Structure 1
Amino acid sequence: MTEFAPNELIVIRGRGRVSALGLQPAPADAHVSPFTTHATGLPVAALPPAAEATLAELRRTQAAYRQLDRTVLLGLLAARQATAAAGWQRSEGVSGEQEHDPLLTLSPSHHFTTSPLAVSIGSSRGATGRTEEFHAGFLADGVVPAGASPLTTLGNVASWVAYDAGSAGGAALSHSSTCSSAFQALGNATAWLRAGMAERFLAGGTEAPLTDFTLAQMRAIGIYSPFAAEDFPCRPGAGKPSTFVLGEGAAVFALEKVSRQQLAAEAASAPVFVLESVGFGFEAIGSKTGLSAEGQHFQQAIRQALAQARLTPAAVDAVVLHSPGTPAGDAAERAALRAVFGRSLPPLLSNKWLVGHTLGASAALSLDFALHILETQQWPAAPFATDIASAAPKPIRRILVNAAGFGGNAASALVSALEM
């Protein structure tokens, strides 16, 4: 096990997100379902009109962006929020219009004030929409455009985020490990930062899977929710029936390695968010869509995250669950938590009843939700019977965030608020 220097911290300087909740981490009104009905008739967690308009405007900012997959554009939008929040870009040479709306008008011509920026982005499926479009065209007329290959490789997700961020001299890494992809990206970024291979990272996850073919795949597995869009169809922790609902979105984080002395010198007025560790687990089972009843992969990931951070389970104040709303998956994760925490199970939380299951972006959006809770000490109560907590017995200062995916993999991250 790698030993981390206790004086060195991985700090989250800024974050951005886009989901069915728009550009906000929590709903304006938790009594109104953010889900809508797809053309297929299935409920989905799609972008609301205002966020859709922002994404459309982003697509128009550069001619090259008009050909990008929706997954890439979601990642660009979240990354722009993260870099703006981190204060990583200079305003020299930016017009008044650009200063007014930096999310839409920042271009790769802006310059960073510090070291080269590295990028690590996770996505389960990558350029889903463009891949299906190119394939449909090929079946129709046997022709494939020259741009089909570069626009559909997984690597184009991180490389376009890096290009848009103005990165020069930093790595651009794309990761795919089904629904834990974003934590694979964050774990990799953390390792690079701790090893001194990079000084700043944009890391997170993005996914735009709301296509007819992808929805049909999820339905074929037999896990899709039978509830209507207006009835909060994704219900983690509610038991049977299965209430999996597909969503789209992205969340990206601006990460730096800093010393405690440096943080003290900065004299920050707000809490500093620290990504303490990212642990991983794997269970080799025959079914690539199944998992053990004991959630062995979850247990491994949680214990590794705790060991890396040199913490005991008692140090965790809350858990943001992976909990996709499938009875078997929900039960296995809770069994794993009981195996680790025993009777002292912390409050269980979830945002999937608000944003759906966003596949490769889900871990990143869960982490963003955890940071919102650390920041505000508030979260909306689910409007259905569930074991998700509506309140906590004490202030929440450290949160464990879980993620898991097909193939038996799992990941867990620990994040805390450091009071300065």
Structure 2
Amino acid sequence: MKEKISITSIASISPLGSSANEIWEAYQNKNDYFSVEEHSGLKSWVARLSSSGKSLVDELRLSDSKYKKLDDSVLYAMMASRLAVVQSGWKNDSEFGINIGSSRGATKLFEQYHAEFLETGVASTLSSPTTTLGNVSSWVSHDLGSTGPEISHSITCSTGLHSILNGIAWINSGMADKFLVGGSEAPLTDFTIAQMKALKIYAKVDEFNSTTVVDLSTETERSRSYHCQALNLEKENNSMILGEGASVACLEKGVVKNALAIIDGVGYATEILKHNTSISANATCFQKSMNMALGDLDPSEVDAVVMHAPGTIKGDVSEYNAIQKVFGSKLPSLTTNKWKLGHTFATSGMLNLEMALLMLQFNKFIPVPFFKQEVENIDVKKVLVNAVGFGGNAVSILVSRY
């Protein structure tokens, strides 16, 4: 990297909560945050916003008449951005850029408007302006009163981490000193869930996904059910589950006093696909992105990797194989959060980053309860964060404790 970048805040609303304390507490238990809903007449596992996050969004929606017609994906981004800007001390500063992306964008509104069009043959007046992808960063900018550049983009499930790449590029170019970056997703709609089921990667409600959990305090083993088996490398069924939420971080040039963590390296890569949804057995794209993020750093200095690990058989194994290729026989501690809160598409990489920053802040590794590895007495100083999406586009971000 041309120059190190400080992360001065990160905020999110997700199934885990809407404040750092609430989210950290949620990571301390072995529970997941899934519920069963009916979509298109079929039962489906989903991960909805926490009650605290939902209350914040409902309050935001009612705070301005213009906000009532916005999609949840836009409101989630606005709420998370408000929280991040306050934490960073940017509240009275309008001189920053914004890049917040979404894989699916205004999914709920688009489906609603399209259904109305099929029924009436007439499109609603707001059907176009409220469903464009540019809505996300534009409305965040409007809400915060920022005067810098605003960018919305979609690069499928790695969108959130790509926003960090974009923010860093703007800062390193000298065109901005501060950038608000992140991802937002509200994909819990009938059509989106049906799309995932059509790929045959979605967890089935009637499947009992039993696995062994190791109680680290007593070193005893017990069996229990986890609906998403992310990072279970021996699972027999795909088990991806969709979640919703937004996560936004504040980036600043150089190393600043109030930094939560420092970005030491970034990596990105795209691999040639054999199929629209495929990834190579050893995830070539991840190998390239991780090696680029590490740069000249000895891989043994990385204490943990927060994996993308979507809970699919091929996705989890290929990323694990890539990590083995990069780190050799001495693997860092591995973890993921999708077994707990599901796959939030564009937001997922940012929630991975938030998890990494919490581990750095509290100097405590967050394990996956059914993935066996030695995790005692880990001094968490450097964490590598991964994300990948359809199209074989991978991003890796290396962060270190300030």
In the superposition, the TM-score normalised over structure 2's length comes to 0.89
When the two structures are aligned, how many residues end up with a matched partner? 377
Structure 1: how far apart are the matches of 2:101 and 2:149?
14
* Equivalent residue runs for 1:257-336 within 5 Å: 257-258=253-254, 260=255, 263=256, 266=257, 272-307=260-295, 310-336=296-322
- Aligned-pair CA distance for 1:393: 4.5
Match for residue 192 of structure 2? 214
1:198 pairs, out of 176, 179, 183, with 176
- Aligned-pair CA distance for 1:380: 4.7
- Aligned-pair CA distance for 1:375: 0.7
Determine helix, strand or coil for the equivalent of 2:17. coil
Determine helix, strand or coil for the equivalent of 1:274. strand
Determine helix, strand or coil for the equivalent of 1:43. strand
Structure 2: how far apart are the matches of 1:25 and 1:173?
28
Structure 2: how far apart are the matches of 1:228 and 1:179?
27
- Aligned-pair CA distance for 1:278: 2.2
Q: Deviations over 1:327-353 (max 9, x none)?
A: 111110011111111111100011111
Determine helix, strand or coil for the equivalent of 1:151. coil
Match for residue 234 of structure 1? 228
Match for residue 349 of structure 1? 335
Structure 2: how far apart are the matches of 1:278 and 1:160?
28
- What is the percentage of aligned positions where both structures have the same residue? 41
Change (3 A) 1:122 1:85: same
* Equivalent residue runs for 1:1-400 within 5 Å: 4=2, 8-23=3-18, 24-28=22-26, 30-40=29-39, 41-90=43-92, 112=93, 116-168=95-147, 170-226=148-204, 227=207, 231-238=225-232, 239-258=235-254, 260=255, 263=256, 266=257, 272-307=260-295, 310-383=296-369, 385-387=370-372, 389=373, 391-400=375-384
> What value does the CA root-mean-square deviation take over the aligned residues?
1.9
5+ long unaligned stretches in structure 2: 210-223
- Aligned-pair CA distance for 1:416: 0.8
Match for residue 217 of structure 2? none
- Aligned-pair CA distance for 1:206: 0.7
Structure 2: how far apart are the matches of 1:293 and 1:381?
25
Which structure dedicates a bigger proportion of its chain to strand?
2
Q: Deviations over 1:142-166 (max 9, x none)?
A: 1111211111111111111111121
Change (3 A) 1:197 1:228: farther
Q: Deviations over 1:94-141 (max 9, x none)?
A: xxxxxxxxxxxxxxxxxx2xx611001121111111111110110010
Q: Deviations over 1:242-264 (max 9, x none)?
A: 11111101110011103x5xx4x
Match for residue 98 of structure 1? none
Amino acid at match of 1:417: R
Determine helix, strand or coil for the equivalent of 2:139. helix
Change (3 A) 1:276 1:122: farther
5+ long unaligned stretches in structure 1: 91-111
Contact kept in structure 1, 2:335 and 2:368, CA below 8 Å: no
Change (3 A) 1:403 1:237: same
Determine helix, strand or coil for the equivalent of 2:119. helix
Match for residue 212 of structure 2? none
Contact kept in structure 2, 1:20 and 1:355, CA below 8 Å: yes
Amino acid at match of 1:19: S
Q: Deviations over 1:341-377 (max 9, x none)?
A: 1111100011111210001110011001110111112
Determine helix, strand or coil for the equivalent of 2:181. strand
- Aligned-pair CA distance for 1:325: 0.8
Structure 2: how far apart are the matches of 1:407 and 1:73?
27
Match for residue 213 of structure 2? none
